[in-house]
Amino acid sequence: MSRAVYITGTDTGAGKSVAAATLLAALNANGVRTVGMKPVASGCERTAAGLRNADAELLIAHSAGAPAYANVNPYAFADPIAPHLAAAKAGIEIDLTRIDAAFAALSTNAQFAVVEGVGGWMAPLGPRLMQADLVRALHLPVILVVGLRLGCLNHALLSARAIRADGAELAGWIASGVDTQMARREDNLATLRERLGAPCLGVLPYAAAPDPAVLAPHLVAASSLLRA
């Protein structure tokens, strides 16, 4: 695999999973064989096949081929809490070499990967492990998903500052409509375009039951840029 991006968000509930799955759908529709990955997921359901996370399964549904769940989501935790707390409760320490191996396995049958983070950028993965460590280990540029709601300017600008301070590349950002009642939406978008210092890769409208395949045209420009 020669290319991949890491999807982070301004906060939990910013729309990362829908944005990641929509980007997958757009890239695959654009002729780029793309797979999704959710290295760490907390809030998983116990099934006969083991712990399963809805966000990881959404990525699989919009990935090319049929990637193995264990490679898409190598660390799955039952409790819907911060990942470092969920891992500690399960008695597990997240190991980047395991994630790297899963990433390499996914790369054997794909041209591109969309790797979705957990929570916001600063959500810890372990006592000394941050998401920035994962991004640096896999050499991934970052796309920031901005949930459009009151407070998004502060969250987005702080997140962008933190991403850059951690030595990662902010390749662009995607706006995600999460609040239908947001005041001055277009003015907020204009401020983000002016101040984030990275290209806007698309604006996803609010949808009560979002379908990434239907939303994919909103990220055509993003998929074309990444493909290039």
Q: Which of the residues are catalytic?
A: 38
What is the rounded distance in angstroms from the CA atom of residue 165 to the CA atom of residue 160? 9
Instruction: Please give the Cα distance from 63 to 105 (Å, whole number).
Output: 14
β-partners of residue 115 are 6, 37
Reported for 206-215, long-range contacts at CB under 8 A and 24+ positions apart, including other chains, are: 206/177, 206/178, 206/179, 206/180, 207/18, 207/177, 210/18, 210/22, 212/18, 212/21, 212/22, 212/24, 212/25, 212/58, 212/62, 213/25, 213/62, 215/18, 215/22, 215/25
Rounded to an integer, what distance in angstroms lies between the CA atom of residue 94 and that of residue 74? 9
Contact at 8 Å (CB) between 32 and 59? no
Calculate the dihedral angle through the C-alpha atoms of 8, 14, 18, 23, rounding to the nearest 10 degrees: -40
Provide φ and ψ at 135, rounded to 5°.
-60, -40
- For residue 34, the cross-strand partners are 112
Q: How far is the C-alpha of 200 from the C-alpha of 53, rounded, in Å?
A: 29
